[in-house]
């Protein structure tokens, strides 16, 4: 795949599709009833971003899913920004075929952006803690997988998760939101 073999990219997609869809569904499990955001749409858009030009090549499974989590997070954030821009009369920047499948309410868009901004603040304060939270919350990586990718101990990962959850909870509560 690194050499430009499209068949390799297709084979990889077939191998990881179910796991990526599970991750996307997990990211959206706390959405309100009646939303039309589809895990399949998020997975497809994120995968296109992952295999596009100038993308980092993961060294192992856990790194791949960490990159996938970041791509899915960015898909949701881009969509949320677009939704809020439309509400304010902004221009369309999201591909139309993707827009038709994904639909967030204004409140859901605000929540996605609030989580993204809180995670960005956390990463500015503590890069490792931000990486741990992103890998766990967005990719569903286990403590062991996170420890392997970041080359830290599992106890450190657990401590970073506890502290990261507290930080994000506090950040979201100041905006009147609840962190799952």
Instruction: Give the separation between CA 45 and CA 76, rounded to whole angstroms.
Output: 10
Contacts for 160-166: CB closer than 8 Å, 24+ residues apart: 160/126, 160/128, 160/129, 160/132, 160/133, 161/132, 161/133, 161/136, 163/129, 164/122, 164/129, 164/130, 164/132, 164/133, 165/133
Can you tell me the mean pLDDT for 1-20?
Answer: 71
pLDDT digits (tens, 9 = 90+) for 120-176: 999 999 999 998 998 887 777 789 988 988 889 999 999 999 999 999 899 988 888
Which range, 50-54, 89-93, 96-100, is most confident? Answer: 50-54
pLDDT at 94: 43
Residue bearing the bigger pLDDT, 32 or 1: 1
pLDDT digits (tens, 9 = 90+) for 50-73: 776 566 667 777 777 778 878 888
pLDDT at 1: 57
Can you tell me the mean pLDDT for 106-123?
Answer: 81
pLDDT at 179: 65
Average pLDDT over the chain, rounded to an integer: 75
pLDDT at 97: 40
Instruction: Give the separation between CA 171 and CA 20, rounded to whole angstroms.
Output: 28
pLDDT over threshold 60, residue 96 = no
- Which has the minimum average pLDDT: 73-77, 98-102, 108-112, 146-150? 98-102
pLDDT over threshold 60, residue 28 = yes
The domains of the chain are located at 6-173
């Amino acid at each position: 795949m690194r050499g430009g073999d499209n068949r390799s990219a297709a084979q990889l997609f077939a191998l990881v599709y179910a796991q990526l869809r599970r991750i996307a569904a997990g990211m959206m499990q706390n959405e309100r009833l009646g939303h039309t955001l589809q895990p399949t749409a998020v997975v497809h858009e994120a995968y296109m971003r992952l295999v596009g030009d100038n993308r980092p090549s993961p060294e192992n499974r856990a790194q791949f899913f960490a990159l996938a989590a970041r791509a899915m997070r960015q898909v949701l954030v881009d969509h949320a920004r677009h939704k809020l821009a439309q509400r304010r009369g902004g221009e369309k920047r999201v591909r139309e075929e993707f827009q038709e499948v994904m639909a967030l309410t204004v409140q859901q868009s605000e929540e996605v952006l609030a989580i993204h901004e809180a995670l960005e603040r956390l990463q500015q304060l503590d890069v490792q803690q931000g990486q741990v939270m992103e890998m766990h919350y967005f990719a569903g990586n286990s403590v062991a997988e996170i420890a392997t990718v970041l080359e830290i101990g599992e106890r450190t990962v657990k401590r970073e998760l506890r502290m990261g959850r507290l930080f994000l909870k506090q950040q979201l509560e100041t905006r009147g939101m609840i962190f799952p």
